């Protein structure tokens, strides 16, 4: 992917309003809501980072909590919102955010991988039993157009267990946002 590219029109199936029963169990009682790329990106300057999967080691121990920890600093640098996207369904993304005590970063469920595929980041992790997943990337998106793009080196598909985490860190994002360029919302 490259800077200056407009995001494709994609609809995400998002689950809202589910409540866990008092005696435990799975959250129920909510509804499906269609959210589009316009809902997330139109008229806003946002951060989007994507990772291989909810409840996975690097995603859960470093990347998502790192963006949550740095959320206020990032928002203070002319950013409207921070989104974490993964090729997981909305039930999984919501449960992961809850389990991780994520209150600031918003999760986007790309359950069918449509957005990830359009961005050229859909990879196969069948050898791990994951099926299709996202390669790790992050971007600054300004009114639906990619302003800045990072992705991890190589794009490993089936049979490779490499999961680098060097380029798509909140620290790299902060360094860019503190840089000499002046962006507007």
Tell me the per-residue pLDDT of 21-74, one tens digit each, with 9 for 90 and over.
888 778 888 999 999 999 999 999 999 999 999 999 999 999 999 999 999 999
30 lies in some domain: no
Output the domain CATH number for residue 108: 3.40.30.10
130 lies in some domain: yes
Structure token digits, residue 63:
């990347």
- When computed from its CA atoms, the radius of gyration of the chain, rounded to whole angstroms, is 16
d(CA 84, CA 51): 8
Domain of 50 in residue numbering reads as 36-177
d(CA 54, CA 60): 7
Which residues, including other chains, have CB under 8 Å from residue 11's CB and lie 6 or more apart? 34, 35, 36
d(CA 130, CA 170): 25
**Mean pLDDT calculated for residue range 175-184:** 77
Residue 2: its pLDDT value, please? 87
22 lies in some domain: no
Residue whose structure tokens are 């267990």: 161
Residue 27: its pLDDT value, please? 83
Residue 159 predicted with pLDDT over 70: no
- The pTM for the full model equals 0.93
23 lies in some domain: no
Count of beta carbons in the 10 Å neighbourhood of residue 139? 24
65 lies in some domain: yes
Residue whose structure tokens are 């049979």: 159
Closest listed residue to residue 66, CA positions, set 90, 92, 102, 118: 102
78 lies in some domain: yes
Residues acting as catalytic residues: 59
25 lies in some domain: no
Count of beta carbons in the 10 Å neighbourhood of residue 147? 16
157 lies in some domain: yes
Question: What is the total count of domains within the chain?
Answer: 1
């Amino acid at each position: 992917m490259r800077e200056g590219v407009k995001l494709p029109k994609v609809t995400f199936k998002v689950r809202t309003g589910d409540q866990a029963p008092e005696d435990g169990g799975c959250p129920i009682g909510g509804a499906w809501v269609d959210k589009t790329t316009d809902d997330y990106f139109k008229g806003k300057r946002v951060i989007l980072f994507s990772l291989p999967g909810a409840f996975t080691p690097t995603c859960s121990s470093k990347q998502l909590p790192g963006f949550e920890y740095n959320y206020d600093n990032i928002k203070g640098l002319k950013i409207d919102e921070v989104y974490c996207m993964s090729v997981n369904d909305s039930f999984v993304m919501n449960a992961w955010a809850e389990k991780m005590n994520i209150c600031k970063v918003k999760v986007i469920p790309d359950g069918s991988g449509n957005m990830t595929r359009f961005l050229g980041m859909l990879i196969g992790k069948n050898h791990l039993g994951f099926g299709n997943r996202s390669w790790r990337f992050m971007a600054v998106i300004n009114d639906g157009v990619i302003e800045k793009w990072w992705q991890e080196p190589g794009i490993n598909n089936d049979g490779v267990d490499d999961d680098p985490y060097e380029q798509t860190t909140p620290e790299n994002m902060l360094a860019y946002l503190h840089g000499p360029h002046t962006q507007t919302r």
